[in-house]
A and B are shown apart, each in its own frame.
Chain A
Amino acid sequence: QKEVEQNSGPLSVPEGAIASLNCTYSDRGSQSFFWYRQYSGKSPELIMSIYSNGDKEDGRFTAQLNKASQYVSLLIRDSQPSDSATYLCAVQLLGVFGNEKLTFGTGTRLTIIP
């Protein structure tokens, strides 16, 4: 079983609709959860972080975390063509020094159709 699993896609969503991206993780000790956006040929860009159960909203983005189900999701409202990218889910264990390595899923490729 992979540590962090995502549907690789591609996921196609009409412009203006809601895009829903999902991620599951295997380690119950995971403490911090992140969503990165990666455009083709570019490096990952942090768009959301979430640390406790529930929803966290930032503009058109909402991250949802359910630690009991080991599930984290990202919703993108009013999808725009510029949202077309690969979305990476990343999970972090809390170690002695606090900051620990991120374990990444392989990413979901999202295409917004105009």
Chain B
Amino acid sequence: GAGVSQSPSNKVTEKGKDVELRCDPISGHTALYWYRQRLGQGLEFLIYFQGNSAPDKSGLPSDRFSAERTGGSVSTLTIQRTQQEDSAVYLCASGEHTYEQYFGPGTRLTVT
């Protein structure tokens, strides 16, 4: 079946601009996660959704970062007033009751 999809695959933006990253989870998966991976580094948790609510936002690095999920499906991660340190691959994962998380292909964000 279809896996997790993310768009865009690549995004280049100027410092100070806002960006929106989209994630379509695997159909039927109630849990959705956003992670960030800087070049050569490990994965960093950002936020977790169960349905449309976000029980854990502890990983969001600043108030410039926000995320929402509607209809228990698609999620959007928004970064306002982007900074160069926001450059990274943003990964979305989804899962169900088995606890296993399956990752999408990621969005590579470059802030110039």
Q: Which residues of A are interface residues toward B (Cβ below 8 A)?
A: 32, 34, 36, 42-46, 49, 88, 90, 92, 95-107
Contacts and interface: CB of A to CB of B under 8 A. Distances in A.
Contact-size category for B: 20 to 34
Interface of B: 30-31, 33, 35, 41-43, 45, 48, 50, 55-56, 59, 89, 91, 93, 95-106
Given A99-B95, A101-B48, A45 B56 contact: no
28 contacts: A34-B100, A34-B101, A43-B89, A43-B106, A44-B43, A46-B100, A49-B98, A49-B99, A90-B43, A92-B99, A97-B31, A98-B97, A99-B30, A99-B31, A99-B95, A99-B96, A100-B56, A101-B45, A101-B48, A101-B59, A102-B35, A102-B45, A102-B93, A102-B101, A104-B42, A105-B42, A106-B42, A107-B42
Contacts of B43: 44, 88, 90, 102, 104
